Amino acid sequence: MTFEVLVAEAESAPVAGWDFSWLDGRATEQRPSWGYQRLMSERLAGARAALDIQTGGGEVLAGAAEFPPTMAATESWPPNIEKAARLLHPRGAVVVADPDEPPLPFADEAFDLVVSRHPATVHWTEIARVLAPGGTYLAQHVGPASVFELTEYFLGPQPEARRKRRPDAESADARAAGLDIVDLRSERLRMEFSDIGAVVYFLRKVIWIVPGFTVDAHRARLRELHDRIRRDGPFIAHSARTLIEARKPA
């Protein structure tokens, strides 16, 4: 397909939620070795009250076989809120519209488990506040310089941004909020984009990779990347993932 057709197709594709099946056959990403969804599901099955922060469209949380008696989720983007509500309400979970800014709209010590997959922001003092004594925060965070091959292709070198989201800094922030670190792991994982449509769709969906991305603003660089992929094969990038488990002292 031509550049124009690939880009138009990707521009018209819906991007609500965290379902990436549109990219099947067009892009790949290695998965972390720890299996976050399995770990999350095991913890949810043993919890009494749990909160999923920044649930997106609820797809990851919905993959759990069993919810605790009290299950809540937060989300800020209206299309995702609607999608998550449709997915999670039938299973008894409540979806709360929240701006991703403190405070969380819950009482102190309301949950014995807080989970999150790829939160855009992490407010450790709020996580600590809503956790009951002995409660656990289990999350998979985006690590430092994740997919920066794409970020810097469009925006140029980002030395300051490269230093953000470091696991050691995040664990220090968690400790400063009064939490103990139980587990901390990080991995870099290979990604491949096989056509320019996959790049456009990914950047529309994962909006922090190239903030403010639009096809019109980056058309020249997109066309150059299209030609490069056609000539040299898939564009290679690397995602960064951190597994972090923190516990509030009993």
Q: pLDDT tens across 184-193, in order?
A: 999 999 999 9
Residue that the structure tokens 């009290």 belong to: 70
pLDDT grade for 242, boundaries at 50, 70 and 90: very high
Q: Which of 135, 179, 162 is nearest to 43 (CA)?
A: 135
pLDDT grade for 18, boundaries at 50, 70 and 90: confident
Which amino acid is it at 95?
A: V
pLDDT grade for 17, boundaries at 50, 70 and 90: confident
Question: 111 pairs with which residues across the strands?
Answer: 131
Please write down the HEC assignment for all residues of 54-84. Answer: CCCCCHHHHCCCCCCCEEEEEECCHHHHHHH
- How confident is the model at residue 67, as a pLDDT? 98
- How confident is the model at residue 16, as a pLDDT? 86
Beta strands in 123-222 (DSSP E): 131-142, 180-193
DSSP string, 149-192: HHHHHHH---HHHHTTT-HHHHHHHHHHTTPEEEEEEEEEEEEE
**Average pLDDT of 159-181?**
96
**Average pLDDT of 129-136?**
98
Please state the φ and ψ torsions of residue 175, each to the nearest 5 degrees.
-65, -40
- How confident is the model at residue 205, as a pLDDT? 93
Q: Please, what is the average pLDDT of the chain?
A: 97
pLDDT grade for 19, boundaries at 50, 70 and 90: confident
15's tokens: 């991007």
Compute CA distances 96 → 4, 67, 80, 166, whole Å: 39, 17, 11, 29
Name all domains of the chain by residue range, CATH numbers in brackets.
Answer: 3-247 (3.40.50.150)
- How confident is the model at residue 213, as a pLDDT? 97
Share of the chain above pLDDT 70, in %: 100
- How confident is the model at residue 168, as a pLDDT? 96
